[in-house]
């Protein structure tokens, strides 16, 4: 797959670059460029990111960072079985636990919420950093909802991180998930409160909390490019033009009459 000229491979994280040092330099550079493309496209063009991940995988399947990138690309394309296999391989190679929550979410994607809950109670969770533990809580709550256990999902999300006044990278998503669970349980007033709190914490627009809040408040957004409105505006402009033309013609006729007199 083509690599844009502005991609050098130097854009990747230094830890990944260090992993690639086990490869010949030319090969390492090629792999790095493909990994950069995966990161660049994964949100806007998941299929494109997946294609670049397969190239990187073909070039360096024994590098943990490559297997991890391939896992996330597959995950973004809802290829959960493939993603889980890649995450497991990356974990075996690196020995870390950082991928534990997303592995559990793959189990959810495969229709195995019970397995995701088992993973949420595993010893590996205690080894996660705070962000990882919050992510695991979100996955566990999602698994509860998959099983129709709304009240249990709500309780799962009730935590010190949810109640904390400080805003962390995970705060908006945690509040959003809590609000969404409350709404699903029919607790609309509480849901509105927590969607509002999610909006306050969502500094980079990672959720649609503002839209959900507006929906609860009964606010309708009209598409500025709506065809009917455009047609109406065109009709108004056309009528105004006709009126102007009539006025000009009337003035001309009046002047002619005066001249004849």
DSSP per position, 137-164: HHHHHHHHHHTT-HHHHHHHH-SHHHH-
Contact indicator for 58, 80 with CB cutoff of 8 Å: no
Shortest CA distance to 73 belongs to which of 52, 89, 93? Answer: 52
The DSSP H or E segment spanning 195 is helix 188-201
**Which own/partner pairs from 159-165 qualify as long-range (CB within 8 Å, at least 24 positions apart)?**
159/134, 161/130, 161/134, 161/137
| Token pair of 72 as six digits | 């996330």
pLDDT at 197: 95
Question: How close are the terminal C-alpha atoms of the chain, in Å?
Answer: 83
pLDDT at 218: 83
CB neighbours (10 Å) of residue 173?
Answer: 18
> What is the rounded distance in angstroms from the CA atom of residue 83 to the CA atom of residue 102?
9
pLDDT at 250: 52
Q: What is the length of the chain? A: 261
Q: Is pLDDT above 50 for 254?
A: no
pLDDT at 232: 52
Q: Is pLDDT above 70 for 259?
A: no
Q: Is pLDDT above 60 for 32?
A: yes
Q: What is the pLDDT of residues 149-206, one digit of tens each?
A: 999 999 999 999 998 989 999 999 999 999 999 999 999 999 999 999 999 999 888 8
pLDDT at 248: 43
Handedness of CA 127, 168, 114, 158 (dihedral sign): positive
Confidence of residue 134 (pLDDT cuts 50, 70, 90): very high
5 phi/psi in degrees, rounded to 5: -65, -25
Q: What is the pLDDT of residues 3-29, one digit of tens each?
A: 998 999 899 988 999 999 989 999 999
pLDDT at 140: 98
pLDDT at 249: 53
Q: What is the pLDDT of residues 212-228, one digit of tens each?
A: 999 988 876 555 555 55
| Token pair of 243 as six digits | 């009126």
């Amino acid at each position: 797959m083509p690599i844009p000229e502005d991609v050098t491979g130097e854009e990747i994280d230094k830890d990944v670059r260090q992993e690639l040092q086990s490869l010949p330099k030319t090969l390492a550079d090629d792999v790095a460029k493909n990994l950069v493309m995966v990161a660049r496209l994964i949100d806007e063009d998941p299929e494109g990111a997946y294609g670049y991940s397969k190239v990187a995988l073909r070039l360096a399947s024994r590098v943990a960072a490559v297997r991890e990138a391939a896992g996330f690309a597959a995950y973004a394309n809802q290829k959960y079985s493939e993603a889980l296999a890649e995450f497991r391989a990356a974990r075996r190679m690196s020995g870390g636990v950082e991928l534990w929550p997303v592995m559990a979410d793959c189990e959810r994607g495969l229709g195995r919420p019970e397995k995701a809950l088992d993973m949420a109670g595993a010893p590996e969770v205690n080894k996660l950093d705070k962000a990882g533990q919050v992510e695991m809580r979100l996955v566990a709550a999602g698994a509860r909802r998959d099983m129709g256990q709304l009240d249990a999902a709500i309780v799962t999300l009730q935590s010190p991180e949810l109640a904390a006044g400080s805003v962390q990278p995970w705060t908006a998503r945690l509040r959003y998930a809590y609000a969404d669970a409350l709404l699903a349980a029919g607790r609309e007033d509480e849901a509105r409160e927590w969607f509002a709190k999610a909006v306050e914490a969502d500094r980079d627009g990672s959720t649609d909390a503002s839209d959900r809040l507006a929906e609860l408040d009964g606010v309708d957004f009209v598409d500025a490019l709506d065809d009917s409105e455009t047609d109406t505006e065109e009709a108004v402009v056309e009528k105004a033009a006709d009126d102007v033309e009539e006025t000009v013609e009337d003035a001309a006729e009046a002047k002619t009459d005066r001249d004849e007199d």
